[in-house]
Amino acid sequence: MRQVNRLSQRFRAAMRRERERPWRRRLGRAGVGLALVLLLLGGGGWALSSGLVTRLAQQSRDLLDRAARAAGLVVREVTAEGRVRTDQRELVKLLESRMGASILSVELNELKNQLEGLPWVKSAAVRRQLPGTLHAVIEEHRPLALWREREGARVRLIDEEGAIVPVADLRPFSGLPLVTGKGAPAAAKELFAHLAREPLIAKRTTVASLVGGRRWNLYLDGRVEVRLPAEGVGEALARLAAEEKANGLLDRAVEAIDLRTPDWIVVRVAEPPAKRTAVGAGRGA
């Protein structure tokens, strides 16, 4: 009986050990896996710090470059569209600097940024046309007006979005209207959109001055001041255009026109020259 009991006890102990083994094996495998992860992490840090990753990336680029050249994928032609005012020599020089390079190794974003660094280029896009052409599409600034922030400040050229166009020679744009005042470039787009709907007034506008950052005073033909409201600018300009068509208001001896009151046009007439002469003579007597 004792022998049977001992055998039974050994059997139960063996079963317990067998049930415990999978748990221990899983723990052992997890420990090995954790050790491998730590090794890889440590090795990755070492690879980065030693420059191994950078060297491997460069070797990959060199391999790609050689493969592209072997396949005939080399830049043999550069083309561009959208150029109007951009200096053609600068554009050609920039694009042709990639001639002879592997077309797959050309950094398109880098070339895009360089194109957008040209004075007239507002935005650019570059794409590959396999096997050997780089094609650039540029969008240029469209001049809207000249801008001077305050009296005596430097005059700059602005585009339709109010962005400053970094050109030095403004003589070709002397016929554009001048906008003045702080914040005028950002607000000018809306004003000129209203003026475009009233070409009779637009063609006579020489200066537009932003007052208090809220509303505009226009100067027509360099002599007639037109005070616009802060709101309802389009309606005010339409009333002025209708009055000009009906009565030729702007060709009269007018100094100022106030459109800030809806449904009314307040006009200040210039003093007749004869009257001014008489007053001057009276004082001198």
Find the CATH number of the domain harbouring 212.
3.40.50.11690
Are 178 and 239 part of one and the same domain? yes
Instruction: Assess whether 115 and 92 both reside in one domain.
Output: yes
Question: What's the chain's average pLDDT?
Answer: 81
Cα 100 from chain centroid? 31
One-letter amino acid of 255: E
211, two tokens? 């007052």
- Asked whether residue 81 falls in the same domain as residue 26, the answer is no
Q: Is residue 64 part of a domain?
A: no
Of 112, 140, 168, which residue sits at a domain end? 140
Per-residue pLDDT tens digits for 77-121: 999 999 999 999 999 999 999 999 999 889 999 999 999 999 999
From 84, 114, 140, the end of a domain falls on 140
Helix, strand, coil % in the chain, rounded to nearest 5: 50, 25, 30
Residue pair 195/165 in contact by the 8 Å Cβ criterion: no
**Shared domain check, 155 and 116:** no
CB atoms within 10 A of CB 282: 8
Query: What confidence category does residue 199 fall into, taking pLDDT thresholds of 50, 70 and 90?
Result: very high
End-to-end CA distance of the chain: 155
Percent of the residues in the chain that have a pLDDT greater than 70, as a whole number:
71
Q: C-alpha 103: how far from its chain's center? A: 27
**Total tally of structural domains belonging to the chain:** 3
- Do the domain assignments include residue 11? yes
Tell the burial category of 252 from Cβ atoms under 10 Å away from its Cβ (0-12, 13-18, 19+). Answer: exposed
Residue 253 within a domain: yes
Position 79 in a domain: yes
Write the CATH number for 135: 3.10.20.310
Which residues span the domain enclosing 9?
A: 2-50
- 14: confidence class by pLDDT, cuts 50, 70, 90: very low
